[in-house]
Structure formats: structure tokens, C-alpha cells
Chains A and B, each alone.
Chain A
Amino acid sequence: MHFLYPMCCFNSLLNLTCQNQNNYIQDHLKSALFDAFCLTADVFNRPLCSLISLFFHFFSSFQMQFMLLFSRQGKLRLQKWYVPLSDKEKKKITRELVQTVLARKPKMCSFLEWRDLKIVYKRYASLYFCCAIEDQDNELITLEIIHRYVELLDKYFGSVCELDIIFNFEKAYFILDEFLLGGEAQETSKKNVLKAIEQADLLQEEAETPRSVLEEIGLT
């Protein structure tokens, strides 16, 4: 009996969210559902869990929801979110996921079920690359996506290491944004991605150079 009442409540919440066109209210409802989901996921109340997991189907069924890069000490080095969540939710997800992934032993497989998502992670040197994909997605190709991103970073920075990503985080983002868009690969050729970044960097330099020259002369 104890879980039936919240179930009915959440049913109504879900219905409200479906019916309500107002995005602001939708987001509040989604947020409430999400918080509730976190609560019930902790208590491992499966029926309630699966009901609320329907919430995640507001996002499509094939999509990378987010990508996180973090060190072995759990420090976040990059976070790319492809779904709208509040800062609080993002922090909570990050914290829990980092803990879960760091607790995995080295010989374990790269996939784990976490809440309603599939997590694909791989460790490269001191960095963990972690993607959250949805139920219908292909985990093995996601591993290839992660690998491609690492290759791009490697080519760009020349034998990339964690420090490169720490000190040039904005460049890591730029490269990611040339490779993925909305969670999907936009360019499957390594060469083309790097070329685009190169050109954009050149553009940036051209924009900056005049100023620095003027500054050197002493004119602002």
C-alpha cells in the first residue's frame, strides 16, 4: 500500500507535465519528477522507479544525454550537457556518477546501468571519459565516439595529457563542439574536424593580433 499513493501522485504529475504546454511549468514539473526519481532510485523502489523513468522519455530514445570528463580524484575537467537540467541536478548527477564510476574495478566492463540510463565510460591515462546514453543506443559505437574524441584531442595537443585539458579547457570544448552537436556526431572524418578547428583558431588569432600589436606600441 505504501508505494501506491506516491505512484498515483507521480502519475498525475506526469499527466500534468504531458498536458501542460507552458515550458516553465513543464520544467518545474520535470524538476519535481527528477527529484522524486532521485529519491526513489535511492530507496530502490522499482515500480516507482520505472514509472518515473518514463520521465526520461521526454527526451528522445536515441540520444547522448551528457558527457563528463573527470580525474581519478573525481575532479571535473569537462561537462557537456545535452539535456536541460538545473545546476543542482547537474551537480547531483555528477557527484553520484563520479562516485559510481570511480568505484568500478579495472577489469570490469565499460558499461553500467545507472538509474534509467546506460553509462559508457573509459579511462585514458588519468582521465575518465563518461557518456550517458539512452536505452536504445549502441554502447559499442559510443565507445568508438569516445575514442574518436580522444584521438582528436591527441592530434590537436600533440600527445595530450590531463594538464592540456586543464589549462586549455575551452579548446577541449571547441573540439568537442566540432565533433558532436546535440549529442550526435556531426563529422565522421578526423581530418575535417581538425581542419575546422585549425581554421577557427586562425580566425581567432587574426582577431586578436591587431590589438596586441597596438598594445605593444603603447596605443590602446
Chain B
Amino acid sequence: MPAPIRLRELIRTIRTARTQAEEREMIQKECAAIRSSFREEDNTYRCRNVAKLLYMHMLGYPAHFGQLECLKLIASQKFTDKRIGYLGAMLLLDERQDVHLLMTNCIKNDLNHSTQYVQGLALCTLGCMGSSEMCRDLAGEVEKLLKTSNSYLRKKAALCAVHVIRKVPELMEMFLPATKNLLSEKNHGVLHTSVVLLTEMCERSPDMLAHFRKLVPQLVRILKNLIMSGYSPEHDVSGISDPFLQVRILRLLRILGKSDDDSSEAMNDILAQVATNTETSKNVGNAILYETVLTIMDIKSESGLRVLAINILGRFLLNNDKNIRYVALTSLLKTVQTDHNAVQRHRSTIVDCLKDLDVSIKRRAMELSFALVNGNNIRGMMKELLYFLDSCDPEFKADCASGVFLAAEKYAPSKRWHIDTIMRVLTTAGSYVRDDSVPNLIQLITNSVEMHAYTVQRLYKALLDDISQQPLVQVASWCIGEYGDLLVSGQCEEEEPIQVTEDEVLDVLEGLLVSNLSTPVTRGYALTAIMKLSTRFSSVNRIKKVVSIYGSSIDVELQQRAVEYNALFKKYDHMRPALLERMPIMEKTATNGPTEIVQTNGETEPSVVESKHLPPVTHSCISQSFDYLLLLTLCLGIPPMTAYNKNGLKIDFTFERANPNPNIAVITIHASNSTEADMTDFVFQAAVPKTFQLQLLSPSSNVVPALNQGTVTQVIRVLNPQKQQLRMRIKLTYTLKGSAVQDLAEVNNFPPQSWQ
């Protein structure tokens, strides 16, 4: 059997493949050779074969048949074998594999090996991908190595311990003794990994955190030495001594100083020192400054220090390096809540970042801009934000539009400005506006009574230009339906009124109905708008014609509406004006804004986050059948009546038409008691003429509370197939103040709709 080809040879060969198919063929051939070699238990070339397998695995080909071979390599005595074996294990034998646990014994042995590089391999593998069971088994060995004087092993053991703690948090305690003098090490590697270990422990356990607070002075000292010491070639990066260690110490200080006054006090000086002395010309210096700023903002630092931190961020914003600007915007977003005024000072720079070419920076700048909007800067900020909305990528438009609406609602200096802003958003980003904005906008417009004429005129003009943006079209249709009369009569005060006839308006609305661009929801709006105009315009016949055409529309929603509206013309014409009346001013509900944009007003009033979240179901109902529902419930509703009112007992009847059988009237009785005592053992009985059938369902209770504090309800179903006039005889029995009361009565005043 010829020796298997070398790794480099294989790589060279595979790279000559010109097509994917050719490559696959080569790989398959080689895999077959490797497989047979594995079967023969060839020790000599196992290492080479596994290495080749790992290369092919990286290209994306399956390599699971090499898993056991990796185990054999790890168990081998040769260092080369172990090196490749452990590499293979880290690539192929993660904790999800069944054979993963078989590594445990080998790793255990290697952790105690005489050669530190072998121990290192074992620690590395365990620390990168050891499963919880493995960590449990080997934690003791790791703990032992954590106490060794060999710094090469100690640093690896520390990071391995971090992994063990992440996997098996209960084992954290056992590493506590070993941490005693970790920080007195001179070796930077050990120092760095020790700080990482301490950070992990403090994050996971408040007890540990309290315990390690005493290390603050020592950490401050180490940091000070790093800054003040002269040039150290071994750890220098662009003139800064061991930036990795500095950053890690700063992070640990952050965790230790958080919500602790004494610790925060102890680190104030060093933080100020780092903040002012660090070289900012290169990324590495800025990395340290960034970490410092994060620490200052998180601990209980004095206000001077906080201002210093925000000013650093402000300087970052002006840095040429995009990365620095990005990081500054992210941090400012985190601090805008707590240090609002300080951040406001950098508002113009932040707004400039809206024009940046980088997508991530633009997004951050947008979020931050919205957070900075307040009553004082609303006009200027909105101008910038609307300009941004015009030119930004589609992925931003929805969030930006929502943000604009929210901000406008909170800080609009005038109603006209508010409407104008909304118009601007609808016309520039109309298709990206969230669905739930439509009902909110409609509500807003309804409540701005004096702006109705102006609004409908502007919306009409917008419709003439463009009917593709559905939210715009929906709002516009709704408005035209409501205020079409103002449009035609040319009553606009805010701007030059346009001359438009009823027919032109109806043309536009009908155009929406037939256009391919309109969604079914939009068509619904348009049809309803046309219907409403029947009470506002004089060309009723035209409207009747349109409505009747859509009575046979394929779209079920449209068809239903049209049929109902037809019925409105025919049977319920007397109700039509009342039903199609102008909408009254609606009660203000909280707006449903995007969750990630935080609103503060940054002024002396306490900042109240106004975004209450209404369940999405309600909004979808509203947006789809906003006025339609209102119309129809009124249409089919039958007014309630009082059936009986004597001696303090009042019984009201309310009606519903039972679907699907229109011959059944569903009556709900509501019994209320205005006397001073409760009426107990209350029983309601009813009898109807022979042509009817009656079904009495169980009452809600048999106690009618005194002083109208509650009602007893009961449902009666009456079948009236011959559509005769409904009459009923009722019998009431109850006990009041100890004495039994009984009464009979006739109910003849049923409204005609209940039995017709």
C-alpha cells in the first residue's frame, strides 16, 4: 500500500480543480483512500490523514468518520499526533457529538503530562469546547494548574476555569482559593487571564462581587503602573503599554464600581487620568478611551467625570475614523437617558452623522436624533429628519416614519405644522409607513377640527399625483369621504382653495377602486368614502350606481360592503344621513410607537415614556373596518326598551339578531333594583302567544343588588317564524326585606324591528 499523499500535495491537487464537480471527485477519491487507511489502523500515517480530512472539512465536506481517529491521535504519545489530534477534536468533536466524552481520560492524562506544551494543548481544548460533564470531571485538574508557578500554564488554566464556570456555574466556588494571589503576578499573560476570570466570577455571583471589591485598590495600582511606566517593548502597541490588559482592568473596575460608592470613589482619579492621558491618534488609544467612557458612565462617578466622558464621545463624533464615530453614537445612545443635557450639546454633530455613507452609522444617528428631539428643537430637528427620510435606504424608512409621527405628536408647535409633517411623511415614505399609523393619523386629523378643510385639500392634491402609496391613499380616501363637502365648497383658509367638482372627486375615488395599485383594504376605504359622500354631495345617483356595481364584486369584503350600502339606500334610507354623519372627536388613545425609539423631552418635566402598547388585534380591526363597523352595528341595532318598572324593580330589554336564523330574536333582560335592600331569590318568567316559541337561558344570578349597584341578566330566545307582533307576559318573584313579592305584567311595547 503506497504511502498516503502528503497534506500539501493534496491541497495543491485540489486547488487545480477547475469545477466544483472535479473537486468533489478528487475529494471523494481521497476520502476513500483515507477511510481504508483508517480501517487498516495505520499508526504511521494517521496524523497525515486526519490533517487532510480537516482540510477537506474546511471546504465543506463531511468528516465525521475521522472523529474516532482524532481520539486515537490524542491518545498517542507523539507530540505531532497530539497536536493534530486536538486540533481535529476542536473542529470535529464538539459536545454535541456522542464520542465527545471519550476524550475526557486523554485530556486528564495530558493535563498532568510532563511537557508543558502537551498540558497546554489539553487546557486549550478543554477551555474551548469542553462539555459540562467533561468540565465537571476535570475541574479539579484545572484548579490545580491554576495554582502552579508556571505562568505558561497558569494563564491557560485561568481561561479554562472561565469556561468551566460558564458551563457549570456551581463549580465557581472551588476556584476561589486559587484566585487569592493571582493579581500579584508580574506576568502580563497571567494578569490578563486572571482579570478575565475575576470578571466572570463577579458577573455571575453577587457574593463574589462583594468579595472581590477589596481588589479595587490593587487593580487601580496595576493600571497606574501600566500608564505611568516607560516604554516596554514586549507589551507596547503604538506607544501604549498592554492595551488589552488596560481594557480588561477597566471593565472589571466597571463591574466592581457599579452601584458602590466607595469603589467608585477609589477609581475616580485613575479614570480621569486614563481619560486625559491616553493617546488618541490610533485605534488602540481610542479603544482604551472607549472602555473608560463606558466605565465612567456605569459607576457612580462624580458629575465632572461624566461630563468629561461625554465630551470624549463628542470628540469621537468628529473623528475621521468611521469606527470611532460608530462607537461614539452607540455609547451616546446608551447615555442619552441619564445625561440628556450633556448629549444635547453635541446634537448638531449627531445630526450631521445622518448624512454619513455608512448604514450602521446612519441608523445609530437616527435613533439618537429621535432621542434628542424636544419642544425647543423640534422644528430644526424635524427638518433634518424629514430630509433624512427622503434620502435614506428603505430599511430605515419604516422606523424613521414612526419616529417622526411620535415626535410630531409629542412636540408639534402647531396643528398646521403637525398636519404638514404628516403629509410630508405620507408623500415621501408613504408605502413604508406602518399599518397601525393609519388609524392614528385618522384620529389625529379628526381631532384637528379647524384643519379639516386644509387637510382634505392637501390630501386630495397628493392623491392626484400618486396613488401607489397605500397608507397615504387610505388616509386620503377616509378624509375625502368625511370632508368632501369642504373640498368642493372651497373653504380652505390656510392656503389657496382649489376648484374641484363633485364629479372630479368621485372620479378619483372610483379610480382607486379600479386601480391595480390599490390593495383590498384601500378599496374598502374608497368604497366607504364614496358612500359617505352620498350625504355630502348631490350626485347621489352616481354613487348609487357605483355601490350597486360592487355588489357583485369578486372581493368578498367589497361585495359585503356594497351589499350593505345598497341596503342602506333601499331599506334604511331614513337612517342614512344619521349613519353617515361626520365622525365625532375621538378619545385620545396612546400611540403604538416602535419599541426601540425612546422618547424623552429633556426638559424640567419628568420624562414619561408614552408608548403604551395596545394589543395588535384591536388595531388591525380598526384599520380594516374602521368606520364600517360603526355604521353597521348602528344599522342592524335595535333600540333597547324598558319592559317593566315598578316598586324599584326595573327590567330593560336589549335586542340582537341571531345569525344565521333571522327569525330568532335574542333578548337580554337587565334587571336593576333601586331600593335600599337587595332583592334575593329573584326569578324571571315569561310566556308568549302560541305562534311563538320561547327559550329561557339561566340568569347571571338571583340576587339583584340594591341601589342600582349591579344588574341581573338573562337571555331569552324567541322564535317568531310567522313574523307576528311580539307580545309577552312576564312574572316576577323575589324577596325584599324578608317578604316575598310576586307580580305579573304584560309587555307590548316591543319595537317593530325586533319581530319584523
Contact = CB atoms under 8 A, between A and B. Distances in A.
What is the interface residue range for chain A against chain B?
35 or more
B471 interface: no
B82 to A, nearest CB: 9
Given A82-B128, A140-B327, A145-B244, A186 B359 contact: no
Interface stretch (A12-20, A125-133, A195-203): A195-203
A185 interface: yes
A188 B15 CA distance: 36
B79 A186 contact: no
A48 B134 CA distance: 34
B160 A182 contact: yes
B95 A23 contact: yes
A113 interface: yes
Q: Which residue, of A85, A91, A145, A177, has the highest number of chain B Cβ atoms within 10 A?
A: A177
Nearest to B243: A144
A110 interface: yes
A181 interface: yes
A181 B247 CA distance: 17
Interface in B71-88: 78-80, 83-84, 87
Nearest to B76: A207
A85 B59 CA distance: 18
Contact of B55 (A110, A141, A169): A169
Contacts of A35: none
Nearest to A23: B132
Contacts of A189: 188-189, 234-235
Given A91-B60, A112-B360, A186-B155, A46 B291 contact: no
A44 to B, nearest CB: 9
B545 interface: no
Nearest to A168: B8
A23 B323 contact: no
A131 to B, nearest CB: 14
B200 A144 contact: no
Nearest to B196: A184
A108 B94 CA distance: 35
A177 B83 CA distance: 11
Contacts of A79: 58, 91
Interface in B280-304: 283-284, 286-288, 290-291, 294
A187 B327 contact: no
Interface in B348-381: 357-361
B234 A187 contact: no
Given A76-B58, A84-B96, A181-B159, A111 B199 contact: no
Given A173-B87, A185-B192, A196 B244 contact: no
Contact of A46 (B245, B595, B620): B595
B103 interface: no
What is the interface residue range for chain B against chain A?
35 or more
Given A169-B58, A170-B54, A182-B128, A141 B133 contact: no
Q: Which residue, of A192, A208, A211, has the highest number of chain B Cβ atoms within 10 A?
A: A192
Interface string A138-182: 111101110010000000000000000011011001100110011
Contacts of B358: 107-109
B131 interface: yes
B83 A113 contact: no
A189 B84 CA distance: 25
B87 A60 contact: no
A182 B163 contact: yes
A206 to B, nearest CB: 8
Contacts of A81: 94, 129
A98 B128 CA distance: 23
Contact of B128 (A23, A27, A139, A181): A181
A77 B243 CA distance: 28
Contacts of A59: 166
B752 interface: no
A109 B326 contact: yes
19 contacts: A1-B616, A27-B96, A60-B166, A81-B129, A91-B60, A109-B326, A109-B360, A109-B361, A111-B360, A138-B251, A140-B287, A144-B284, A170-B7, A170-B84, A177-B90, A182-B163, A187-B192, A196-B152, A203-B79
Interface of A: 1, 3-4, 23, 27, 46-47, 59-62, 76-79, 81-82, 84-86, 91, 105, 107-113, 138-141, 143-145, 148, 166-167, 169-170, 173-174, 177-178, 181-182, 184-192, 196, 199-200, 203-204, 206-208, 211, 220
